[in-house]
Amino acid sequence: MIAVEGYAAQSAKAPLAPWSFERRDVGPKDVLIDIAFCGVCHSDIHQARDEWGGSRFPMVPGHEIVGHVTAIGSQVDQFKVGDRAGVGCFVDSCRVCVNCKADLEQFCVKGMSGTYNGFEQDKVTPTFGGYSTRIVVDQKYVLHLPEQLELAAVAPLLCAGITTWSPLRHWNIGKGHKVGIVGLGGLGHMGVKFASAFGAETWVLTTSPGKADDAARLGAVGVVVSKDAADMEKHAGSFDFLLSTISAPYDINAYLGLLKVDGTMVTVGAPERPLDLHLFSLIMGRKSIGGSLIGGIKETQEMLDYCGEHGIVSDVEVIPAEKINEAYERMLKSDVRYRFSIDLKSMAA
């Protein structure tokens, strides 16, 4: 077994604290990664505090993992020692179901193995995430990282990046589309970067007028202040596509009113309680609502390659691991522009 240091929540009410645990030994097809940075996702808070239910403790959160390969199994042929490598939101899947065979491992019929707060495919062995010094993963679920990009800023691409990339690509967003990114946070800022890079006329829908300058810097042509009724009315019926990143309860009907006939709103945010949807918001305009969950390994690699070619990374604030509880509280106050990236190298020293 491999000794690992990390930060864990021992219960839903406990702050994260140092915790020593063990990973499995490197198997024939495994890659051992020394973790350099791990992004902090809002879902880490939801799960560490059991806000979605079903949390398992002790829990080591973190699924935006980047680092370097330090050992490989005897049958590994996709990585070598010294390579940059990343791990996203899952570390395995059944590999044989219709979705796995279609490179949609995130929708594995038998259940993907989440990078943390989950189980290996034996459904018994718990998984522990990237708020730690090392991780062992089958090479099939490890990603190659662009050499030219800063590692700390690449880490959030493994969740925030692919979560926004996948729906924009699936719904073929690009030139000729007016797109609204709802919420300018860790997910939203990546949505703006991608939608604008794809050539769409990109707007940010936000409750904060003060984010206009940031929105423009990220690639948006303007902002719509969602709590300003006149501003919302001005844009009514004008959007082809809305991507909602909101993770708190909100009035979805107000946003549906912004869509054109045949427009689509896709959500990647997951509020704690159901939204109140009035079906006439859909019927009057033949509008659609969709959902999206991260992406498969193939699509995630395509996203990383695109980011390498176009110089796209997340805006990050790097923190030491001991600041993680403070970072959680700041995230809840939206006091980060736009993603925390934990420096794990000091823990390994």
Output the average pLDDT for the chain. Answer: 96
**Is residue 349 pLDDT above 70, yes or no?**
no
Dihedral of the alpha carbons of 302, 304, 305, 308, in degrees to the nearest 10 = 160
Do 218 and 273 lie in a common domain? yes
Instruction: Look at residue 96 and tell me if it is in a domain.
Output: yes
What is the token pair recorded at 37?
Answer: 């940075």
Task: Read off the pLDDT of residues 196-236 as tens digits, 9 standing for 90 and up.
Answer: 999 999 999 999 888 999 999 999 999 999 999 999 999 99
pLDDT at 348: 66
Reference 245, options 219, 263, 261, 266; nearest CA is 266
Do residues 98 and 226 share a domain?
Answer: no
Query: Does residue 256 sit in the same domain as residue 333?
Result: no
CB 128 within 8 A of CB 21: yes
Which structural domain, as residue segments, surrounds residue 219? 161-291
- What is the CATH number for 220? 3.40.50.720
Which two tokens mark 348? 């390994």
Do 148 and 21 lie in one domain? The reply is: yes
Q: What is the pLDDT of residues 41-71, one digit of tens each?
A: 999 999 999 988 999 999 999 999 999 999 9
CATH number at residue 336: 3.90.180.10
Distance of CA 256 to CAs 93, 112, 213, 228, Å?
Answer: 35, 32, 25, 16
- How far apart (Å, rounded) are the C-alpha atoms in residues 45 and 39? 12
User: How many independent structural domains does the chain possess?
Assistant: 2
Together in a domain, 211 and 282: yes
Same domain for 153 and 171: no
pLDDT of 92 strictly over 80? yes
Same domain, 19 and 143: yes
Same domain, 144 and 16: yes
The answer to whether the peptide bond before residue 320 is cis (omega within 30 degrees of 0) is: no
Alpha-helical segments (H) within 24-125: 42-48, 98-101
154 and 165 within one domain: no
